Amino acid sequence: MPDLTITRAPHRKELLRQLRPRIHAAAPELRLIARDLLGAGAPIDFVAVDPSGGVTLLLVGEAGEDLELVARGLAQHAWVTPRVRDWLQLAPELGARPEAGVRVILLCPDFSAESRGAAEALGDAAPALWTYLCVRDGASTDALIAPVESPVPSTGPASDAPPTPTFRTGLSDADLGLSAAERNEFE
């Protein structure tokens, strides 16, 4: 039995073909309803509907495109949200409900801290981040996906850490030549 080895992503059409069943396995509640749908100036790789009628947009980026992918996700979200009602006029059987909202899932080989921070800064509109990895098993290749657990790695002090001490220069009032009134402004 051959070992799995990490390999380069195949051409885009093949990558999307490989990702489709992986998306279904990772989020079986999503019903994919469209692929390569023209959105806000660029295609939306996959469009899905969840059981509550919410629309989910799935966008796939390549290595190094993670920050751009966050921006594309935001743009597509803004473009699709007002159009869900129009889609229902064309295809009421989609099962989408405009009031259920639109969410975005971004798939990329990796997300930098900057990209994760940008995504988290979107608050309630923050996209879900998933990574994908292409592997070779003998002659065949496949893509594996995994959700990014934490949108931004914690780099600050723990919440139970003591407060940061106030910055002090070591200069005295005499060194600064401050009057009593001026000193009170800084207290």
Encode pLDDT of 53-108 as tens digits. 999 999 999 999 999 999 999 999 999 999 999 999 999 998 999 999 999 999 99
Residue 15 inside a domain? The answer is yes
pLDDT on residue 15: 96
Q: Which domain holds residue 64?
A: 4-154
Count of the separate structural domains present in the chain: 1
Residue 163 inside a domain? The answer is no
145-156 pLDDT per residue, tens? 999 986 444 455
78 Cα distance to chain centroid: 15
Residue 138 inside a domain? The answer is yes
Residue 175 inside a domain? The answer is no
Burial of 22: CB neighbours in 10 Å, binned 0-12, 13-18, 19+: middle
For 7-62, strand residue ranges (E) read 31-38, 43-49, 55-60
pLDDT at 114 over 60: yes
Decide: 15 and 9 in contact? Cβ < 8 Å: yes
Residue 178 inside a domain? The answer is no
Decide which of 176 and 26 is more confident.
26
Residue 160 inside a domain? The answer is no
Residue 118 inside a domain? The answer is yes
2-35 pLDDT per residue, tens? 688 999 999 999 999 999 999 999 999 999 999 9
What's the CATH code of the domain at 55?
A: 3.40.1350.10
Provide the pLDDT confidence category of residue 175 given band limits of 50, 70 and 90.
Answer: low
How confident is the prediction for the chain on average, in pLDDT? 87
Decide which of 172 and 125 is more confident.
125
In angstroms, rounded to a whole number, what is the distance separating the alpha carbons of residues 123 and 67?
16
Residue 29 inside a domain? The answer is yes
Please name the amino acid found at residue 185. Answer: E
The CA–CA distances, whole Å, from 160 to 84, 153, 157, 166, 167 equal 44, 17, 8, 18, 20
Please name which of 102, 109, 103, 104 lies closest in space to residue 146, comparing C-alpha atoms.
109
